[in-house]
Amino acid sequence: MKQLNYPSMRFLRMAGLSLAMGLATLASAQETSYDVRHLANEQNIVSLSASKKYLLLPVEDNAPEGKVYIIVDNNRQGEEINIRLARKQVDYYVPLDLSAFAGKAVAIDIQGTPSSAICWKKLQFSDTFDLTNREKFRPVYHHTPAYGWMNDPNGMFYKDGVYHLYFQHNPYGSTWGNMTWGHSTSSDLIHWNFEGDAILPDAWGAIFSGSCVVDHENTAGFGAGAVVAFYTSAKSTPWGGSQSQSLAYSLDNGKTFIKYDKNPILTSDQPDFRDPKVFWYAPDKHWVMMLAVGQEMQIFSSKNLKDWKYESSFGAKQGAHGGVWECPDLVELPVEGTKEKKWVLICNINPGGPFGGSATQYFVGTFNGKRFVNEAPTQTKWMDWGKDNYATVTWNNAPDGRCVALGWMSNWQYQAVLPTWQYRGANTVARDFTLYKKDGEYLLKSAPSPEMKQARGEKQSFPSFKVSDTYQINQLLPRNEGAYEIELSIKNAGASRVILNLLNEKGERIDMYYDVPRQQFVMDRSESGLTSFSKEFPAVTVAPASETDRIQLRLFIDRSSIEVFGEEGEYVMTNRIFPSAPYNQMSFASDRGSFTVESLNVYKIK
């Protein structure tokens, strides 16, 4: 690469040349000029007059991280931004919103990026930023961030017909950093609109995971119906990191938030102290906050959402402890077919999942508003038997008494290297939780939310067929774009293995089978497509499946994911996959006896 040896250089950019420009803007292209001064120690000052809404910053995912500060009149504006500015190649652009400084002279202080980096020549200005990301692995009917990195779902609440979903967002790159609450909304849990970033880092730190409640009774005094958000303020300082809980409230249904002037509201000397989940405990008319603290969950109570009292801790000698506990939740669920209800404590753990890395475990028991008691203390219960369901939490204030949950469809083992660029991260499909009882044990049922049936489009049905050796379907859908559901019911007649594989014309495949003697459903994604980006990615995942006579299955495939729901959610397996073309064939085989596929329907998802 040519070395650029200049102390200062002036660039003229036609705004209309930007990658992200729409045609309308192209017509009204106007010149924006900027000036770069390279100072000592990899410090650079970009001077400009803020005449366009965005400065588009070129990013290279593998470049080292530097820092960006906006300076007006010799003063820093807002918090520092960590960013991997392009040194050798531009992977994608991210927008730096300058609209608050319209017409002003702005200096962008960029530290930790050498003068030889190509970013200095690649800065662009624009009034728009293109959100129509066309990457081939971007799911169609799963929530993804419009751009940038995403991890945990946060602050989920339902109000006035709208599901609100906030998420751990890095608006300045597709790797983790600058944690901010991005915001998306949906009326059907399937089609999501990006509403922008709702809660931005501040003096108390980055904005880590948390929850929102609707304060119907105005217990906090922000107003009846105010939406109150709780999140972890996370800061690293030269004398160590700190995590504390903060609060912000919204008087416009979650669009914008006002940060509470007495933040932080809860502090600790524990290094891992985070992810507040707040909910209303009706019998005692108080609020409850669950917090993940090291390898336990702590429970607090409050009458006014501002002052919190420690009540109890849960976790010692319970369940899996292979890693730190994160993102708690506590919900009361009906037991199917009875009038009984039980409390379920949701505990995300990383690492220490059954197939390595992150996973979600849960405990079933009682809760009296202050203390949770696990009724099966010797068992570990997993919510999902794949590698890619983490940080699962539920919607507050969901309609009709439903308990609707959402997970982050990934694993900390490899999220940072998944083969996508301008965005990275996806959520699972929404799931409705209930409990069922099997052999005296209470287990969680995660059914695909009923909205998934309304999303069914074009249908392809296959007449019943018997498999005594092998059976092949050459075309699942006429124009398969990789976003569909397969619904199957199978009657087993003595097969010891019921094998069903998904394949594409490149020979890539997902192998699945029921191991009847072991009562297991197994998935192998090691030949599923791109897998070499991480040695932790090729994997075989196994779920307990006691029903192997009459099998009911729903498989949701969406470009780069597969979610298997057995027996309407008695077990679930969520795995990411990166096939170079959609799987459009299915092959069946039986080992020993035979089985009959009594119904097989494939639906495009709208």
92-121 binders of ligand FRU (CB under 6 A): none
Smallest gap from Cβ 391 to ligand FRU, in A, equals 5
Residue 206 or 605: which CB sits closer to ligand FRU? 206
Measured at the CA of 600, the angle between CA 599 and CA 604, to 5 degrees, comes to 140
156 is a contact residue toward ligand FRU (CB under 6 A): no
Comparing C-alpha atoms, which of 251, 204, 210 is closest to residue 229?
210
Distances (CA, A) of 47 to 36, 38, 124, 374, 580: 6, 11, 13, 60, 44
Catalytic residue check, 152: yes
326 is a contact residue toward ligand FRU (CB under 6 A): yes
Residue 384 or 508: which CB sits closer to ligand FRU? 384
Q: Which two tokens stand for residue 402?
A: 């439903």
| Nearest residue (beta carbon) to ligand FRU | 208
User: Taking a C-beta distance cutoff of 8 angstroms, is the pair 176, 151 a contact?
Assistant: yes
Q: Which long-range contacts (CB under 8 A, 24 or more apart) does 367-372 make?
A: 367/330, 367/332, 367/343, 369/281, 369/283, 369/284, 369/286, 369/288, 369/301, 370/299, 370/301, 370/311, 370/312, 371/299, 371/311, 371/312, 371/314, 372/297, 372/299, 372/312, 372/314, 372/330, 372/343, 372/345
Q: Compute the distance between CA of residue 450 and CA of residue 132 in angstroms, rounded to an integer.
A: 28
Which secondary structure element, helix H or strand E, spans residue 212, and what is its range? strand 206-215
391 is a contact residue toward ligand FRU (CB under 6 A): yes
Buried b (16+ CB within 10 A) or exposed e, 164-201: bbbbbbbbbbbbbbbbbbbbbbbeebbebebbebbbbb
Smallest gap from Cβ 447 to ligand FRU, in A, equals 24
Residue 145 or 448: which CB sits closer to ligand FRU? 145
Smallest gap from Cβ 189 to ligand FRU, in A, equals 21
275 is a contact residue toward ligand FRU (CB under 6 A): yes
Residue 151 or 298: which CB sits closer to ligand FRU? 151
Instruction: Indicate which residue of 61, 97, 127, 152 is catalytic.
Output: 152
Smallest gap from Cβ 292 to ligand FRU, in A, equals 6
Residue 234 or 500: which CB sits closer to ligand FRU? 234
296 is a contact residue toward ligand FRU (CB under 6 A): no
Comparing C-alpha atoms, which of 82, 223, 119, 182 is closest to residue 408?
182
Smallest gap from Cβ 300 to ligand FRU, in A, equals 17
Which residue from 170, 175, 180, 232 is in contact with ligand FRU, where contact means CB under 6 A? Answer: 232
175 is a contact residue toward ligand FRU (CB under 6 A): no
Q: Please tell me whether residue 49 adopts helix, strand or coil conformation.
A: strand
209 is a contact residue toward ligand FRU (CB under 6 A): yes
Smallest gap from Cβ 178 to ligand FRU, in A, equals 10
Smallest gap from Cβ 490 to ligand FRU, in A, equals 36
Is the bond preceding residue 264 a cis peptide, omega within 30 degrees?
Answer: yes
181 is a contact residue toward ligand FRU (CB under 6 A): no
Give the interface size with ligand FRU as a residue count (CB under 6 A): 12
Residue 81 or 391: which CB sits closer to ligand FRU? 391
Residue 296 or 508: which CB sits closer to ligand FRU? 296
The contact set with ligand FRU (CB under 6 A) reads: 151-152, 168, 179, 208-209, 232, 274-275, 326-327, 391
Report, as residue numbers or ranges, the catalytic residues: 152
